[in-house]
Chains A and B, each alone.
Chain A
Amino acid sequence: MPVKKKRKSSGSDDAGLRKCKITSFCRPATPGRLINSEDHFSSKKCLSWFYEYAGPDEVVGPEGMEKFCEDIGVEPENIVMLVLAWKLEAPNMGFFTKEEWLKGMTSLQCDCNERLQEKLDYLRSQLNDAAVFKNIYRYAFDFARDKDQRSLDMDTAKSMLALLLGRTWPLFPVFHQFLEQSRYKVMNKDQWYNILEFSRTVQADLSNYDEDGAWPVMLDEFVEWHKVRSAL
């Protein structure tokens, strides 16, 4: 299962990242601090930083992105990349345009890889704020969506859900199984939005689920399916 792998890798990646930070960052920490405190953010530097990765069309494309990730020591599938994309307000997965880059990095006050690396923890911490997380979650739908489709195809939806809710929602493995066996081919925005609500408000034993509520039919079916299964 791709998702499982992804989850595992992002978990181990996190650990690796932290280690990496310690090894490669502890030493230049003092000079880093110095740079930070003395030199202010330079948009010129930021622009040239952008061109390190952007192609001739002034866009960071898939290849540039890969290199960028490598340079800041983060795997592309890591959730922090999603948070970064959200900060940059990038509409398309795997692409950063010049405007997005300059605007977003300015707001983060980053003009080089090192400064960004320092910000990664801050970006990660954003996920713990419920309101911000909701925004990121909602942003993820449009971000991951194929732009000529209204809905998310199911495989992408499953991976994105694993990324966003895999660690926090106890019912996620069950829900994932439900999606595996269901005949849904795509997930629409309404369903996507409501899954977050569901994961936040409905208890793991489904005891407070209101069947007459406004939950999308997909979730009604999930609850039904799960109840039948656990009754067996």
Chain B
Amino acid sequence: MERCWQDHCRQTIMIRSIFLFLDRTYVLQNSLLPSICDFCGHSYRDTGLELFRTHIISDRAVQTRTVDGILEQIERERNGEAIDRSLLRNLLSMLSDLQVYKDSFEQKFLMDTNRLYAAEGQRLMQEREVPEYLHHVARRLEEENDRVITYLDQSTQKPLITTVEKQLLGEHLTAILQKGLDSLLDENRVTELALLYQLFSKVKGGLSVLLQHWKEYIKNFGGTIVGSPEKDKDMVQELLDFKDKIDHIIQTCFQKNESFLNAMKESFENFVNKRPNKPAELIAKYVDSKLRAGNKEATDEELERILDKIMIIFRFIHGKDVFEAFYKKDLAKRLLVGKSASVDAEKSMLSKLKHECGAAFTSKLEGMFKDMELSKDVMIQFKQYMQNQSDPGNIELTVNILTMGYWPSYTPMEVHLPSEMVKLQEVFKTFYLGKHSGRKLQWQPTLGHAVLKAEFKEGKKELQVSLFQTLVLLMFNEGEEFTMQEIRSATGIEDGELRRTLQSLACGKARVLNKIPRGKDVEDGDRFCFNADFKHKLFRIKINQIQMKETVEEQVSTTERVFQDRQYQIDAAIVRVMKMRKTLSHTLLVSELYNQLKFPVKPGDLKKRIESLIDRDYMERDKESPNQYHYVA
């Protein structure tokens, strides 16, 4: 049967080819001799075509056979077999010359295509992985395009490609995305993603579906980064990496499509704020870790780039006050302990923040820098002043004058300082108040640090320690062994602080004291004695700066302070609005407040503040309609 058809086909084709050839020659002749034989040629050709159409093609059987034959050939080629393409080209151009291409062939062809690819799409979606499938689709499209170029009529291109795209992609948009997008993004398969974008952009509605899933993916993935407290330590780094990856994908795969970029921003903002406050806090700490000295991994340019990236994440954060509080606390530590990696980097970060949040946001931070500079000047003057003093003393004193309000508030702590230190403090006080009368000086022992000279059996060492550590160590100038109670009453250091201090001296890496009995934790009855056998390869030893580490209480109190501040800000905003409007309904007041407040608030919290203000007679409810408030002057 097959061979029979083949033979027949070949014969018919031969005949047709001859006709075709004849026809072509006429046409050719026509065009060569247009002036003379114009009319004749036309009629010749027309007659030929007419004859051919009526006698052969219009014969239903022949026509169906021919078309079926062509279709079968095409299907074979689609299945990967090699076929005689020029034959098809000739036949098809003949059909189109005979003006039966559209009616007899194209319709059928498109229907066939539709059926074939519908089935193929269904089947392959089941069988294949998404990346494979995408490549397959791309190849199919290429093939079909090639087909159009080599033997199909140009007019078929559009409907044909649309059909293929519809069957292979359009029908499966959501399925493809659901099945494959996440893993493509997870594995960062740039080529496939680019292909995906390219293919989807061809199908109507494809990009909007992709955009939707894109948003979902970012929100979900980001949500897991932000939402798991056990991974807090790496959250910011992961966020930065994630952002880099997403940026890269938009750049290379999504042709920097604006709406994808915006969707990304929107999604980031959405998930970063899903967990309130913590991300802001962690970003501040991350910046601290980068700006702190001893961070050798980055050059200045790299650091600058990292800071820029952080600022992008920071931009998404709603409660920027939390960031400020933690940033300020860490900055204070860096400045006071002299731990800042570089002043330039600090200043650059500050200007970035200023640019992002305005001058009001950074004024206090700038004040801190100013304090440090002023303190330097004061110290130069103080040194000169000391030289003119009769009793210079043997302790060198450096003082940083901190303006209250700029700096985080430190709880003042009373400790017993050695008389030499107290005397020196008095000298400085006289000196400073002599220059600036009317100011109040308050010493902050928690922030002090000192360098002590000590003599061990091995030789002389210098110990760089905190003020509390100093006080404890100085006691061992007077005696060999002290109990914890004795140390506590002698130094006056608060219990928890003292335990930490003793732990750092007797249980840390550099054990200049011995604890009896040995152990990791400091218990009530423990005794301490000087460790004369202390050995260390360095001359100047820094004993674990406890104050560099943030304690849990510190973290809690910083957060609490932020919340307290927020309450004041809400109160202030309510009064401001009410003062301006005099009378306002609840809904309007609340929406006005949401416009003014820069941090996330729950409506319930707003109500509590409103009630508190009503209770304090700043405003009152309307006597008749409880939804209306009046400002009370």
Contacts and interface: CB of A to CB of B under 8 A. Distances in A.
Interface stretch (B522-530, B554-562, B600-608): B600-608
Among B608, B621, B626, B627, which residue has the most Cβ atoms of chain A within 10 A? B626
A213 B615 contact: no
Contacts of A193: 621, 626
Contacts of B629: 214
B146 to A, nearest CB: 62
Interface in A163-207: 188-191, 193-194, 197
Contacts of A130: none
B626 A197 contact: yes
26 contacts: A150-B615, A151-B615, A188-B615, A189-B615, A190-B611, A190-B615, A190-B621, A191-B611, A193-B626, A194-B621, A213-B586, A213-B627, A214-B585, A214-B586, A214-B607, A214-B610, A214-B626, A214-B627, A215-B607, A215-B626, A216-B607, A217-B607, A217-B608, A217-B611, A220-B604, A220-B607
Nearest to B617: A150
A38 interface: no
Contacts of B587: 212
A127 B215 CA distance: 61
Contacts of B607: 214-217, 220
Contacts of A188: 611, 614-615
A197 to B, nearest CB: 5
Nearest to B606: A217
Q: How large is the interface on A (under 10, 10 to 19, 20 to 34, 35 or more residues)?
A: 10 to 19
A134 B611 CA distance: 21
Given A193-B621, A194-B626, A197-B626, A217 B614 contact: no
A131 to B, nearest CB: 10
Contacts, number: 38
Contacts of A189: 615
A140 to B, nearest CB: 16
A215 B614 CA distance: 13
B611 A216 contact: yes
A148 to B, nearest CB: 16
A91 to B, nearest CB: 18
Nearest to B605: A217
Contacts of A213: 586, 627
Given A190-B611, A216-B607, 12 more contacts: A150-B615, A188-B614, A189-B615, A190-B621, A191-B611, A193-B621, A194-B626, A213-B586, A214-B610, A217-B604, A217-B607, A220-B607
Interface in B581-609: 585-587, 603-604, 607-608
Q: 9 nearest interchain CB pairs?
A: A214-B586, A214-B627, A190-B614, A188-B615, A197-B626, A217-B607, A217-B608, A216-B611, A190-B611
Nearest to A218: B611
A37 B418 CA distance: 96
A150 B616 CA distance: 9
Nearest to A134: B623
A220 B629 CA distance: 18
Nearest to A196: B626
Contacts of B614: 188, 190
Contacts of B615: 150-151, 188-190
Contacts of A220: 604, 607
A214 B630 CA distance: 13
A153 to B, nearest CB: 15
A194 B615 CA distance: 13
Contacts of B621: 190, 193-194, 214
B243 to A, nearest CB: 36
A151 B611 CA distance: 13
Contacts of A212: 587, 603
A197 B614 CA distance: 17
Contacts of A151: 615
A216 B629 CA distance: 13
B275 to A, nearest CB: 23
Contacts of B585: 214
Contacts of B608: 217
Nearest to A150: B615
Interface string B39-54: 0000000000000000
A24 B604 CA distance: 57
Interface in A137-152: 150-151
A213 B604 CA distance: 11
Nearest to B603: A212
Nearest to B607: A217
B144 to A, nearest CB: 57
A193 B604 CA distance: 19
